[in-house]
Amino acid sequence: MKKRFLAAGASVAAAAMVLTACTPPGGGNDEQSSENQTLTVGWNEAFRSMNTLTANGNAAANSILTYLMNDNFKYYDDNLELQDGTLGSVEKVSDDPLKVKYTFSDTAKWSDGTPVDAADLALTWAGQSTHFNTVEANNNDDGTVKENDEKTVYFDSSNVGSQLIKDFPEISEDGKEITLTYSKPFADWEMEFGLGSDGVGVPAHIVAKKALGEDDPAAGKQAILDALKNKDTAALSKISNTWNTGFDFTSMPEDPDLLVHTGPYKMTAFEEGQYVTLELDENYAGPTKPKVNTVTVRYNGDPMAMVQAIENGEVDFTQPQATADVLEAAQGLDGVKVEAGDGATYEHVDFTFDNNGPFDPAAYGGDEEKAKKVRQAFLKTVPRADIVEKIIKPLNPEAQVRDSFTQVPGAPMYDAITAGNGLKDYAEVDAEGAKKLLEEVGGEIKPVRIMYDNTNARRQQEFQLMKESAEKAGFTIEDVGDVNWGTRLGDKTYDVALFGWQSESTGITESDANFRTGAQNNYGGYSNPETDKILDEILVAPEDQQEKLVTDLESQLTEDAFGAPIFQFPELLIYNEKLKNASSTTVSPTLMWNYWEWEVN
């Protein structure tokens, strides 16, 4: 599981899987020229990395662009049906042990002409597996990754599926095939590598050039493979440093190597904090044939300013944060279409279990039961229904309280899981019940510090509703909101975190890193051996056992008063009617998923 897609970040599980008639990449009408077709997209956060697999790079601001610049093995359509990409094929060749073979297509090439092959995927596996790390972490206090010294190897990423691949992969003589063997069955093998915006990862030959000084692409690829096979600490230290930060930039890089890609678009301009321009790459040899020649992404964090940009003709297509004012303003524009629905992100509250605060057993002399009662009491005060009614329904009348930690409303397992996970016990505020629990605990309860983005209007409203409700039950609330909330996650300076996770896939293992002991997204320090055991079972679960196991997981989280989901983000897709085939999907890269179908009249 990757570290972040924070409201631009990670974890919703299985959603509706239905057949679709969408046109696959390369399946459009090639007679329609892309010449002079341009499109400007509005987004709220600027691009910062070509490597979407690192903690820093794993953000929607990056993925919406890398998706256009890189081909993939699989991607999701707007019905969340998994589709074949154009990079090659994925095939399960053995069940016991589980073996998965990736075969690269003959047209799979990096934009500098170097073939895409097994070395690239082997490096991606290594970067996410944690098997080559010599330390558990190597990060600064603000969460950014440190530079490794010559004796340290640390790839700033982890993925539960990659961790199950312990042996070096089998690679064909020509490098066009790579077979990975899992140490145990893994339910989400089909989407483990090469999904959507991640593509095959960063180019191994460029990593070798920057890290090891090897200019020849073939020799560079071999040097990467040799370093992995031999677990060469000196080489891997340099390789991991380049992999971690070597592809990060916030304006147009002088080094063209950082822009090497596999897909139909190339980056041609990047003005820091203002815009990025992509143009069709004339050297692209793959089958994807977009109709739009130039795509520019303009940045502005103010959603009303984005609507104004649509009105002024400066932006054609955008997905700003949905508010009632934004909806009203967009609906009043001539020649503009507005589509409302559920987005890819869900809002939730998480507790901190290990900071000697009001929800930590250490605050009660190690008494687990007292700490749990305080967490349960606080959950009884969270006005989830009120938040949805007052803040979300004006944007999406069909909105409902989300009652699942892992499933999006409408997903095949959602109804059964929410019927059995116990979260409906917190459907309504119960101030008296909360007071009773606090009385049972006795003594003075420490103030509850709530962290959230205090520059975000919606979160300001949510915080105020939560504060007023909790105070009625006797809690003292401290506002520790911060515009830099994301970098503070896990720093133990707060007791409740209010933020959103964005989904990357529909896999049932997607949420593993949110709840497993010590996992990267488990910022609150939650730990329960029973939860870890259920997560282990989910990793290898056959389809007919998945619903029961996910229900067991969510029941355990409810029993432990881990926190609570609140709602699925409302989404507004706003676009000029001259754009045809505008669409969005509820996983990353949302509005970019079908770029090859876009037409601008």
- Which element (helix H / strand E) includes 498? strand 496-502
User: Minimal CA–CA distance to 376: which of 417, 419, 433, 446?
Assistant: 433
Rounded mean pLDDT, 55-69: 92
- Cβ count within 10 A of residue 30: 10
Give the pLDDT of residue 113. Answer: 98
- List the Cα angle 221/225/231 in 5-degree steps: 140
Alpha-carbon separation of residue 178 from 100, 102, 170, 173, 495 (angstroms): 8, 5, 6, 10, 45
User: Minimal CA–CA distance to 306: which of 333, 280, 277?
Assistant: 333
27, pLDDT greater than 90? no
Binned at pLDDT 50, 70 and 90, residue 144 comes out as confident
The amino acid at residue 540 is: V
Q: CA 538, CA 185: separation in Å to the nearest integer?
A: 10
Task: Identify the structural domains of the chain with CATH numbers, from first to last.
Answer: 51-249 (3.90.76.10), 265-342+573-600 (3.40.190.10), 343-569 (3.10.105.10)
pLDDT tens-digit readout, 481-527: 998 888 788 999 999 999 988 777 777 888 888 999 988 789 999 99
Give the pLDDT of residue 322. Answer: 87
32, pLDDT greater than 50? no
If you ran DSSP here, which 8-state letter would residue 257 be given?
A: G
Sign of the dihedral defined by the CA atoms of residues 521, 241, 198, 258, in that order:
positive
Sign of the dihedral defined by the CA atoms of residues 388, 392, 397, 400, in that order:
negative
Half-sphere exposure of 26 toward its Cβ, with a 13 Å CA cutoff? 13
- Cβ count within 10 A of residue 84: 14
pLDDT tens-digit readout, 288-347: 999 999 999 999 989 999 999 999 999 999 999 888 899 999 999 999 999 988 887 899
pLDDT, greater one: 384 or 159: 384
Range of lowest pLDDT (48-62, 81-95, 283-297, 431-445): 48-62
pLDDT tens-digit readout, 198-207: 999 999 999 9
Give the pLDDT of residue 34. Answer: 55
Q: CA 586, CA 156: separation in Å to the nearest integer?
A: 26
Binned at pLDDT 50, 70 and 90, residue 410 comes out as confident
**Ramachandran region of residue 167, left (φ > 0), alpha (ψ -120 to 50) or beta?**
beta
pLDDT, greater one: 543 or 595: 595
220, pLDDT greater than 80? yes
pLDDT, greater one: 60 or 2: 60
pLDDT tens-digit readout, 421-460: 999 999 999 999 999 999 999 999 999 999 999 988 889 9
Q: Copy the structure tokens of residue 422.
A: 């116990």
* Average pLDDT of the residues of the chain: 91
Alpha-carbon separation of residue 132 from 110, 163, 230, 435 (angstroms): 26, 10, 10, 50
Give the pLDDT of residue 483. Answer: 86
Sign of the dihedral defined by the CA atoms of residues 265, 269, 271, 274, in that order:
negative
Packing angle of the helix pair 324-331, 303-311 (nearest 10 deg): 0
Give the pLDDT of residue 23. Answer: 38
| % residues pLDDT > 70 (the chain) | 94
**Residue 201 near residue 78, CB atoms below 8 Å:** no
Rounded mean pLDDT, 276-291: 96
Rounded mean pLDDT, 211-239: 98
Q: What is the SS3 assignment for 566?
A: strand
Binned at pLDDT 50, 70 and 90, residue 35 comes out as low
Half-sphere exposure of 394 toward its Cβ, with a 13 Å CA cutoff? 12
368's CB contacts (< 8 A; 6+ apart) are 361
Binned at pLDDT 50, 70 and 90, residue 28 comes out as very low
**Residue 575 near residue 600, CB atoms below 8 Å:** no
Rounded mean pLDDT, 536-540: 90
Q: Select, from the ranges 85-89, 156-160, 185-189, the one with the highest average predicted confidence (pLDDT).
A: 85-89
Give the pLDDT of residue 504. Answer: 74
14, pLDDT greater than 50? no
Rounded mean pLDDT, 277-283: 97
Greatest CA separation for the chain: 76
Rounded mean pLDDT, 89-106: 97
**Residue 571 near residue 345, CB atoms below 8 Å:** no
Give the pLDDT of residue 25. Answer: 57
- In DSSP terms, 278 is beta-bridged to 267, 295
- Cβ count within 10 A of residue 539: 21
- In DSSP terms, 367 is beta-bridged to none
Give the pLDDT of residue 140. Answer: 85
pLDDT tens-digit readout, 540-581: 888 889 999 999 999 999 999 999 999 998 889 999 999 999
Tallying the residues shown for the chain, one arrives at 601
Q: CA 39, CA 582: separation in Å to the nearest integer?
A: 11
Alpha-carbon separation of residue 320 from 42, 533, 568 (angstroms): 8, 40, 15
Give the pLDDT of residue 31. Answer: 43
Rounded mean pLDDT, 585-598: 92
256's CB contacts (< 8 A; 6+ apart) are none
Binned at pLDDT 50, 70 and 90, residue 22 comes out as very low
Beta-sheet pairing, 496-502 with 448-451: parallel
**Residue 316 near residue 578, CB atoms below 8 Å:** yes
Give the pLDDT of residue 2. Answer: 39
Alpha-carbon separation of residue 450 from 122, 363, 460, 489 (angstroms): 42, 17, 11, 12
